[in-house]
Amino acid sequence: MLIKKTADLRYSEVTPKSIYLNRRKFLAGVPAAFLGARELLAPSARAQAGAKLPDLVKSPFSTTEKANSYNDVTHYNNFYEFGTGKQQPAQNATNFKTSPWTVSIEGDVAKPRKFSIDEIMKLAPLEERIYRHRCVEAWSIVVPWAGYSLSVLLKQVEPGPKARYVAFESYWDLRQMPLARPELTGIALPYVEGLRLDEAMHPLALLCVGMYGEALPPQDGAPVRLVVPWKYGFKSIKSIVKIKLVASQPPTTWNLANAHEYGFYSNVNPQVDHPRWSQATERRLPSLFQNHPTQMFNGYASEVASLYAGMDLKKNY
């Protein structure tokens, strides 16, 4: 029997945990004539949430705070393409197909190209990073994400001399996301976000492919997303399909929808309130009370404050 080493495995070949754990029940109901088939599932089905991520390295960037439960993080989500209610994404994204998947990188780069999810998974050792995650709605969680610094991917295409910003775009397809209509979501789609190039190249900016030691579930941005821990959660764009390096500040979805409430930078700042509520405290899930003090840059000030030296953070909110 041929046994593949971890380095030889493709993301699409990893069996989902839910299928593995239920294999006996599944096989018991299958006629013997079918048991000789080597491929029982299509690649798109095998790449579901729950696939174990091999050889995760513990990252020194991690917080020492206790992580939230898996249930907290997977059943209280903002992902408007699958519904605007917090519980809707977990309900509506169940059959979201994430394989095959490619991420196109273009713009002012020397080597534009498309990366498959398998190529993305192999670019660097996957690290487990326990990050605080703060939503602009004043709730927060602590999540053990898995991935590596976004800079690793960007260096593959060699940013050009005019590249000052990085623009991101999410997957959008009404055949898979029937609720992802602007008249239902209240926002323009596809979802777009952006960072300054120096922000994107900061080692804390995480290209994320998993959490809790497993592949990302669809409601949390499968198969690849961004996690920028010092910014409000809507900056951490989900289900990325396109990255473009550009000279000018790119449009971003929530800033287009309401620039007065959602600035381009959106750094966590307890001193700058949202026009409709305070940002001085937050509600750490699953608590019902907003009694957790908000930290400047979400607790990452020592690492990222230098990026904004001399800037008026009330004006550049």
Q: Do 170 and 238 touch, CB atoms closer than 8 A?
A: yes
Residue 36, pLDDT > 80, answer: no
Q: pLDDT class for 7, splitting at 50, 70, 90?
A: very low
Residue 164, pLDDT > 70, answer: yes
Q: Do 197 and 163 touch, CB atoms closer than 8 A?
A: yes
Per-residue pLDDT, 50: 75
Three-state DSSP state, 315: coil
Give residue-wise pLDDT tens across range 228-286: 999 999 999 999 999 999 999 999 999 999 999 999 999 999 999 999 999 999 999 99
DSSP 221: T
Residues 106-114 have a mean pLDDT of 98
How far apart CA 230 and CA 209 sit, in angstroms, is: 19
**Domains assigned to the chain:** 49-308 (3.90.420.10)
How far apart CA 206 and CA 217 sit, in angstroms, is: 17
Supply 285's token pair: 């899930």
How far apart CA 66 and CA 170 sit, in angstroms, is: 30
How far apart CA 58 and CA 291 sit, in angstroms, is: 30
Among 221, 223, 245, residue whose Cα is nearest residue 234: 221
Among 100, 156, 145, 98, residue whose Cα is nearest residue 123: 156
Residue 294, pLDDT > 60, answer: yes
> Count of residues for the chain?
317
Q: pLDDT class for 34, splitting at 50, 70, 90?
A: very low
Per-residue pLDDT, 49: 64
Per-residue pLDDT, 54: 86
Per-residue pLDDT, 124: 97
Give residue-wise pLDDT tens across range 192-240: 999 999 999 999 999 999 999 999 999 999 999 999 999 999 999 999 9
Supply 91's token pair: 């309900």
